[in-house]
Structure 1
Amino acid sequence: MKFKIDTKEKIVVFCPEENALDANLSASFITTATTLPGLETRNLILDLHLIETADDAGIEAIFAVYGFMYDNNRSCAITGLNNILTARLKAEGPENLNLAPTMAEAIDLVMMEELERELLDGME
């Protein structure tokens, strides 16, 4: 799987350079996205603007990566989706799924959640 990553202070942006996320790529997508360098201390933004289609395995792969981040006390946001993929993720995903129309909004979402975690940790 070809991809680009952009590592920032508290965020890793993962952008697959494929036009379809299908059963052939789903395992690679999960493995690559969950083992990115620096991810253990950063939040993740999935920039899927190049993905035009996704089959059921591809949708499940997106949810697997998203769930992995929250299972590890970090945040995830998804951006760049076309209307068809947005509708599928909203219909099949958790109700509080972080879908953002722009990269700036995706960054805002994960940074707000980061701040909430820091505040809640400070109150304990």
Structure 2
Amino acid sequence: MKFKIDTKEKIVVFCPEEDALDANLSAQFITTITNLPELNGRNLILDLNLVQTADPSGLQAIFTVYQHMYDNQLSCAITGLNNALTQHLKAEAPEILNITPTMAEAIDLVMMEELERELLDGLE
């Protein structure tokens, strides 16, 4: 799987350079992201602007990575989706995904969740 990553202080932006996220790539997608050393302690933004289609296993891979982040007390946001992918993801689980139309909004969202976690940890 070809991809680009952009590492910032508290965020890793992962951008697959594939036009389809299907059964052939879904396991590699999960493994690649969850084993990124740059992701250690950082939130994730999935920039899917080059992905045009995703089959059920591809959609499940997105959910798996997303859940992995929250299981590790980190945030995840998805941006760059075309209309078809947005509809598929929202149909599957509209209440749990952070889907944003722009990268700036994705960054704001994960940073707000990061701040919220820091504040809640400070209260305990």
TM-score of the superposed pair, with normalisation by structure 2: 0.98
TM-fit CA distance, 1:41: 0.8
Q: Which runs of no fewer than 5 residues in structure 2 stay unpaired? A: none
Taking only the aligned residue pairs, the percentage that are identical comes to 78
TM-fit CA distance, 1:17: 0.2
User: 2 CA distance for matches of 1:36 and 1:69?
Assistant: 12
TM-fit CA distance, 1:94: 4.9
Superposition CA RMSD, Å: 0.7
CA deviation map 1:63-122 (0-9, x unaligned): 000000000000000000000000111110250310010000000000000000000000
1:37 matches 2:37: yes
Question: 2:3 maps to which residue?
Answer: 3
TM-fit CA distance, 1:33: 1.0
User: 1 CA distance for matches of 2:43 and 2:32?
Assistant: 15
CA deviation map 1:17-58 (0-9, x unaligned): 000000000000000111112212100000000000000000
- Structure 2: which amino acid aligns with 1:80? G
Question: 2:98 maps to which residue?
Answer: 98
**Segments ≥4 residues shifted beyond 6 Å:** none
- Structure 1: which amino acid aligns with 2:39? L
1:76 matches 2:63: no
User: 1 CA distance for matches of 2:100 and 2:35?
Assistant: 23
User: 2 CA distance for matches of 1:115 and 1:96?
Assistant: 19
1:46 matches 2:10: no
User: 1 CA distance for matches of 2:35 and 2:97?
Assistant: 21
Q: Within 5 A, what are the aligned runs for 1:102-121? A: 102-121=102-121
- Structure 2: which amino acid aligns with 1:67? Q
